[in-house]
Structure 1
Amino acid sequence: MSFQLLDAYLKVGKFLAITPLSVESNENSKFRQIQQVIVILLTITCVTVSVYFRDYFLEYTFPKITLCLLSDIVLCTYCCRIVIEASKVLQWSELISGLKNTSCLLKEDDNDKKKWIQWKFVVPQLTFFSVVIYILQAWFSILGLWELIYVFEILQYYLQFCHTMYLHTILEMIRQRYEALKHCFEKGFPKNDKNLHEMSCFAYTLKDIVNRFNDNFGWSLLLLITFTTLQFLNSLEYSLEYNIYGTEHASHVIITQVLIALLSFIPTSMVLLKFENIMAESEELVFLVKKSTTTILDRNEREEMDRFGDIVANNLPEFSAARFFVLGRSTILSIFGTVATFFIILITFVPNARLDAATATNLTMLDN
């Protein structure tokens, strides 16, 4: 993949202060620093005001109130964190330098591919805004002007969406380089063993790119996964208590909560699956190298191939969330496991809350 798709997300991200200015960016100007400070202060202020005016928290159970507050705090922290990450221009330039140095592994994109890349940017954006318009329309019919307190929350969702797709784009560029290195080995090995040294350099460079990615985005990935888990659980709990807003709005409440959960869960899952794809490409390369040694009769050539295999095997990519845990397909199962556990806890409180509400209603009727 060329840098075309990445450039598109950088153009949007620099306006929101959540990405570096460009691929060539290697410094943070005073104006840029002021913009980042304003975005952070605006985020904290708007979240604080939004939470303050949510009086309906008093109608929820304690676990539900805790869940809502945690979701707001984690999302706010995440938005502030990605702004801070965008200011790390040194780490960014090192990451981009590695991607450029390995671009020779890839073929040039033709015009048809470039058009397809443009659609890969436009289609997700149109999908996001279509979903958001439906959500706002549905909740405006339920809450009226009180829906305005959710507007900034939607903006935070968009920051999360853009940043997640931006990460997904970088990861796809890394995956394609591992895939190209594998194809390079398949084509070059039978003809010219001198390529092994050059491919060893590429293996080291790709491992360094992965390390730069972890160092730069590790904390935001941790917050992203935490928020996705909380948001999934929050939306599920809202769907179960749709009767709070009246039975006539039940379908709108359920559909909008499912859509809100998917707005966070789908992009996050795409990133986690991309981690798995990158590791699969590198492991397949190791398998091909080990397999090729069985067909080599010359001792020196076999030793060279074993040495190259050890280099690749010792430099397999591994992605982590701020070095707390390794990221991959299993992380998605962990999200579902966490949701299931907390959901069991939540539903134990819901019947009691409904019983208390019903009792209070009956007592009021008796008093009248």
Structure 2
Amino acid sequence: MDLNIIRRFFQVGKFLALTPTTLRDYSATPWQKNYTVLVFFFFTVGATAALQFCWSDYMSENPIALVLWIVTDITRYVHNLYIFISVMIFKRKLWFVLIANLKKTKFRIDYSEYKFLYCAFITSHVSFSIIMSCIIFICFQLDDWYTCLRYYFVEFVQIFTQFFYLSFAPIVLKMIFLRYQHFNKTLQTQKTWHQIKTGQLRLKQTVDTFCEIFGGTILLNIIYNSSKSLIYLNKLIKQTKSWSSGSPIVILMKLTQIGIIGLFWGLIFWVIFLCDAIVSQNEEIRKNLYQMLQADPIFYENKQFEKFLKTVLSNGPEFSAVRFFSIDRSTIFQIMNSIVTFLIVVIQIKTD
């Protein structure tokens, strides 16, 4: 039943070639392949043109701000490159491996959890729509429509693709977590050790497939949001009086900037905590297996059981951002440490 939420994401994502069109669209048609290339070409031309328009503004910034702006632009484009080239062309079949593994798990989601997933889907998209509507309104208030379209149209669409994958990832992680939780609860009722091993390996494959699809987008969104946060914090340090002396439209602009950054960080932290929760749930499974072993010591002398136990213990979930770093709670402190270090450097430069 919870696969209906993935179906909803596919219905939204297919318009920008971000996902397959349906849950059973195993092989892409020539039209779908050409459409993916066409959308990617649109982003490439649009991003190049927007960078050309904004280059004079960038060059007026100080070197630190200039580097941060360039990093955000490059990260947005690489995010699209990763989606269209890696995920939708070379890794397209992994979508259906993920769906098949979620289906094979004999699990029926509670209605409350199902309702929560739908509420998360609706709330995140409504929040994003409201924030972006305010940003678009501000742009048209400060500039004419031609300038807004020339500077920001492609950027806004790129931001949506980032948000789409960032809001999709925790929904899939929640579905995986619920399956680990169900597997743990039903561990005592499994009929055979082979059944337990099969279930554990299937969950492990589900996690690995998730990392192959979403790992790159998580990494790029962390880089993007960190750079964007540093840009806004750098401006805040320079313009400490802008809140009190600014016009209502300027204040609204700052609030929307905080809103979009806050939304992205909220989704990133949700992803991190869910990854950590799944690993913790697997630790509970290991403890329960040892308790089952201690309850029946005869298994110590069973070589087949020894092989089974090694297989289960060596196939726990491991989340990584395309193998650059592991995703767990320590990731939050690494992000905070990087941002604080940068702010210290900026403050020292400003003081000097």
- TM-score by length of structure 2 reads 0.87
**Alignment match, 1:90:** 93
- Correspondence for 1:337: 337
- Whether the 8 Å CA contact 1:207–1:315 is kept in 2: the answer is yes
SS class of match (1:53): helix
Deviation at 1:19, TM superposition (A): 1.3
Q: 1:179 touches 1:281 (CA, 8 Å); kept in 2?
A: yes
1:180 to 179, 182, 193: 182
In terms of mean alpha carbon deviation, does 233-242 or 336-345 score higher?
Answer: 233-242
Between stretches 298-307 and 211-220, larger displacement belongs to 298-307
By how many angstroms is 1:336 displaced? 1.2
Distance 1:349 1:60 in 2: 15
> CA separation in 2, counterparts of 1:292 and 1:19?
42
Structure 2: which amino acid aligns with 1:153?
Answer: E
Aligned to 1:57: 58
The Cα shift of 1:215 comes to 2.8
Tell me the equivalent position of 1:260.
260
Deviation of the 1:71 alpha carbon: 0.5
Aligned to 1:195: 192
2:166 equivalent in structure 1: 164
Unaligned runs of 5+ in 1: 353-368
Bigger mean CA deviation after superposition, 131-140 or 264-273: 131-140
Paired with 2:235 and 2:76, the residues of 1 have a C-alpha distance of: 18
Which amino acid in the other structure matches residue 158 of structure 1?
F
- CA separation of 1:219 and 1:231: change in aligned 2, threshold 3 A: same
Number of equivalent positions:
343
Report the equivalent of 2:246.
Answer: 248
Q: Which amino acid aligns with 2:152?
A: Y
Partner of 1:238: 235
TM-score (norm 1): 0.84
Name the structure 2 match of 1:30. 30
Are the counterparts in 1 of residues 218 and 321 from structure 2 also a CA contact under 8 Å?
yes
Query: Quick one: percent identity of the two aligned structures?
Result: 24
Question: What is the Cα deviation at residue 25 of structure 1?
Answer: 2.1
The secondary structure found in structure 2 opposite 1:294 is helix
Of 184, 201, 205, the match for 1:204: 201
| Counterpart-to-counterpart distance in 2, 1:67 and 1:288 | 48
1:229 aligns with 2:226: yes
> 1:245: how far off?
7.7
Is contact 1:228-1:265 (8 Å) kept? yes
Deviation at 1:283, TM superposition (A): 0.8
Task: Give the partner amino acid of 1:225.
Answer: I
Conservation of the 8 A alpha-carbon contact between 2:135 and 2:253? no
Q: What is the correspondence of 1:89-108 to structure 2 with a 5 Å cutoff?
A: 89-102=92-105, 104=106, 106-107=107-108
Residues 313 and 336 from structure 1, CA distance in 2 versus in 1: closer, same or farther, beyond 3 angstroms? same
Task: Give the drift of 1:150.
Answer: 2.4
C-alpha distance in 1, partners of 2:346/2:12? 39
Deviation at 1:97, TM superposition (A): 2.1
Indicate the structure (1 or 2) with the bigger Cα radius of gyration. Answer: 1
Q: CA deviation at 1:242?
A: 4.0
What is the SS of the residue equivalent to 1:278?
helix
Give ranges in structure 2 of 5+ residues lacking alignment. none
On the 8 A contact 2:162/2:217 being kept in 1, the answer is no
Letter in structure 1 aligned against 2:298: R
Q: Please tell me whether the aligned partners of residues 13 and 19 of structure 2 are also in contact (alpha carbons under 8 angstroms).
A: yes
Residues 285-331 of structure 1 deviation map (CA, whole Å, 9 limit, x = unaligned)? 111221333333x5147857665543322111001111121112211
Match of 1:356 in 2: none
5 Å-filtered alignment, 1:32-47, equals 32-47=32-47
